[in-house]
Amino acid sequence: GLTSCATCDGAFYRNVPVCVVGGGDTACEEAVFLTKFASQVYLVHRRDSFRASAILAERALKHPKITPIWDTVVAEYIPDERGEMRAVRLENLVTKEERILEVKCVFVAIGHTPNTVAFQKALPTDKAGYLVKKHGSLTEIPGVFAAGDVVDPHYRQAVTAAGQGCMAAMDAERYLTGCCGEGTHSD
């Protein structure tokens, strides 16, 4: 009942109410995606407006199955007798009022921070902290390759990370064997 991937887990919550926590692009996208499955999507945000792009915010706000809940945070996850999600206790940050919202799952979409701190002195990163690649999996340092969640701000899926990992392994093999191509950093 608690996840960060609507694409992975949304279909498990057909015809039941769910909650998305966040107010950026990811939260609005996930909320709209979940309307394909859930009976109702509550979009809980700690502010009084979304930080998402105008088009994504508008799409979420206009959808009949999405209900925004402003100035609010999830204060507690409430399980049923089997330990599965039954509800959340919400707290309004302005009024301090609390209420119980019956949902079967909470999708957390409050941002993604790549775990690149260990590499930031050696490799360039973009403004969001993702490693910058030259092309393929090549980095600025010969013999160092990057793949997966540290370079991918868009898909953030295990299957895409695994695919990138495979490509990085192939580039590394080319580098180690001295074979021509992208893995050599010679082009």
Q: How far apart are CA 76 and CA 64, in angstroms?
A: 27
Angle between helices 25-34 and 54-62 (to 10 degrees): 30
Burial class from Cβ neighbours inside 10 Å (0-12, 13-18, 19+) for residue 123 reads middle
Task: Please answer whether residues 170 and 176 qualify as being in contact, where contact means their C-beta atoms are separated by less than 8 angstroms.
Answer: no
**Any bridge partners for residue 76, and if so which?**
89
Task: Please answer whether residues 17 and 106 qualify as being in contact, where contact means their C-beta atoms are separated by less than 8 angstroms.
Answer: no
Residue 49 neighbours by CB distance under 10 Å: 12
Q: How far apart are CA 99 and CA 106, in angstroms?
A: 16
The number of angstroms, rounded, from the C-alpha of 164 to the middle of its chain's C-alpha atoms is 18
Of the residues 8, 80, 166, 179, which is catalytic?
8
Q: Comparing C-alpha atoms, which of 132, 134, 137 is closest to residue 171? A: 137
- Residue 5 annotated as catalytic: yes
Residues with a catalytic annotation lie at: 5, 8-9
